Amino acid sequence: MCGIVGYVGTRDAIPVLVEGLHRLEYRGYDSAGVAVVRRGKVVVTKAAGRVQELRDRLTKPTPSTIGIAHTRWATHGEPSDRNAHPHLDAEGRIAVVHNGIIENAKQLRARLGAAGVELVSETDTEAIAHLIAAELAAGAGSLEDAVRAALRQVEGTYGLVVLDRTRPDELVVARNGSPIVLGIGEGEMFVASDVAALVHHTQRVVFLDDGELATVRAGEYRTSTLEARRTSKEPTTVDMVADDYELGGHPDFMRKEMAEQPEAVERALRGRLDERFATAHLGGLGLDAMALRAVRRVKFLGCGSAYYAGQLGANLVEELARIPADAEPASEFRYRNPVVDPDTLYVAISQSGETLDTLAAVQELRRKGGRVIGAVNVVGSAVARECGSGVFLHAGPEVSVASTKAMTNMTVSFAMLALLLGRVRDLSAASGQRIVAGLRALPARIEEVLGDDAAIREVAKRHAGAKHMFFLGRVRGWPVAREGAQKLKEISYVHAEAYQSAELKHGPLALIDADMPSVVVVPDDELLSKNLGTIEQIKARGGPVIAVTNADLPEGLADDVIRVSRGEPELDPIVLTVALQLLAYHLAVELGRDVDKPRNLAKSVTVE
């Protein structure tokens, strides 16, 4: 959730580090800090708030060719200068930046306190700096040995980088549950928690594995395990380029990523649709026709929007393959000692592939012998690696905290999975053909919704004064409504509640009045008349209605209508969801929110 950058080379480190932090700011943004070695001293600068605050404080040039930096999302201790990373040992010799959570921090802090160490922050990270210093004082042969010995006392997750003022030519990095990637330059090396901070400089990278450490110098790196066994890691070339992380003329990343959806969907479909056999090819699943036929149930697991994408996926599987399917928040699944069924195909969904709750659900499944595949956007991420097989989303890097193109590609991927499961069962070739054609039509249909931007903005403007909003849908429209409410909440801070339309009359209808607009999702399907009935019920109580639909509604029924095109009914929810992204976006912009960095949130949630 936080961002890490490290540099060792020949350039002035601070500009490189701060530039890297800017690129990682989407991962966490409540405080930031940087440490460099200058004339044998560790010089630290920190600031609560955004990276810009840190930049404003870095007024004095502090030339140095080595340094570490961090942007934080608070877990232990409020966002403040004191709690911002890097953290130092008592002598100011060792500086540490850390992502993840040290679970035995309380015990470590107590132990250090009892030994007379004064801890100056409330963080779990500071203890690591003191432990490393203690190991060096006790005679550890190298910084790497000291880090290794310190980490043996630590329980929890970490991606960390360590700087020692007496060794101004090397950084030691370690990974356990929080990503660390090395970037290989010409006579210089970079370290980061995310390739976003590196691709500006290099595309040659080395991903550390859990339980691995590395000593990084300007011209070399050496990797080993926590048990001091050497490992050999060949660099790989990532295909992300710097432009993927630039706004490219868009006002913010959410807007850019919404606009990229037609192209992202094209990518997800490329090479995977088969007109001849009216099916999909998802080679990464590693399941042949026999294995697919043996699947008796499908369960989607994810968090937030990924969970809602799973709900859309479950509907598609039930509709097209006629096998029972459902979705559950991975965060619940992991904690309820789930009954794992050997005939169920579990699908772990995660854009980042780093969400701890989703990763833990996968680990629980694997421990119990469940068959789990991933639906992941970030190649090489923890969920992707833990699953070992699945569907890559091919949405391209997603920077905005609000997931748009990745969420869309999740649903598109599940439509293909449903088609495939259907075609090894009783879905007819004609129906398969209809879905293949429907999938092919999606990019153009999404483009059309995006083209309706100005009209959706006007609707948003008319409702920007609302303090609360309902999002209603039934069956196909229900996950759409949930995702619409989620998007609105997270980026506009307007209270939005999603309800199944028919449930309204069982209680929440009492809340309807002129100040409570309802967004009603009305797909043009067999439930149309029911949805029209829901609108009537709301109107009869004086509630304003925004209908998001591809049906022909009676004139004047809804106060505002956001219209999308008609396609295959099973796939229409995907298009309706895009319309709700735009509605949430414009409402948030109208309210002056920072859409890319909503308060209290971070892009990947690597904590419980």
Residues that bind ligand AGP in the complex, under the rule CB under 6 A: 303-306, 350-352, 355, 358, 401-403, 490, 604-605
CB of 253 vs ligand AGP, minimal distance in Å: 12
Taking a C-beta distance cutoff of 8 angstroms, is the pair 235, 198 a contact? no
- Which of helix, strand or coil describes residue 172? strand
Residue number, 431 or 604, with CB nearest to ligand AGP: 604
Give the nearer residue to ligand AGP in terms of CB position, either 224 or 363: 363
Tally of CA atoms within 13 A in the half-sphere of 607 that contains its CB: 17
The span from the CA of 434 to the CA of 516, in Å, is 39
For residues 25 and 525, which CB has a smaller minimum distance to ligand AGP in the complex? Answer: 25
Residue 530 contacts by C-beta under 8 Å, 6 or more apart in sequence?
Answer: 474, 501, 502
3-state secondary structure of 399: coil
Instruction: Work out the number of other CB atoms within 10 angstroms of the CB of residue 227.
Output: 8
Closest residue to ligand AGP in the complex (CB): 304
CA angle 250, 256, 261 (to 5 degrees): 150
Shortest approach of ligand AGP to residue 403 CB, angstroms?
A: 4
Q: Could you give the C-alpha distances from 593 to 254, 505, 587, 588, in angstroms and in order?
A: 12, 33, 9, 5
For residue 59, the minimal CB distance to ligand AGP (Å) is: 35
Tokens describing residue 175: 């990974």
CB neighbour class for 440 (10 Å; exposed up to 12, middle 13-18, buried from 19): middle
Instruction: Pick the closer one to ligand AGP by CB: 399 or 521.
Output: 399
CB of 606 to ligand AGP, least distance (A): 10
CA distance 435 to 258: 23
- Minimum CB separation from ligand AGP for residue 285, in Å? 19
Decide whether 272 or 489 has the Cβ nearer to ligand AGP.
489
Q: How far is CA 35 from CA 1, 83, 86, 96, in A?
A: 20, 14, 6, 9
Element (H, E) at 467: none
C-beta closer to ligand AGP: residue 48 or 402: 402
**Minimum CB–partner distance for residue 583 and ligand AGP (Å):** 14
The whole-angstrom separation of Cα 132 and Cα 138 is: 10
Listed in order, strand segments (DSSP E) in 408-559 are 468-473, 495-500, 518-522, 545-549
Which residue, 319 or 357, is less far from ligand AGP as judged by CB? 357
| Least Å from the CB of residue 598 to ligand AGP | 8
Question: In the bound complex, what is the minimum distance in angstroms from residue 401's beta carbon to ligand AGP?
Answer: 5
Which CB sits closer to ligand AGP, 24 or 401?
401
Strand, coil or helix: what is 602?
coil
E strands in 17-56 = 31-38, 41-48
Q: For residue 2, indicate whether it is catalytic.
A: yes
Concerning whether 106 is annotated as a catalytic residue, the answer is no
Helix (H) or strand (E) holding 441: helix 429-451
* CA–CA separation, 431 and 332 (whole Å): 35
Write out the catalytic residue numbers.
Answer: 2, 603
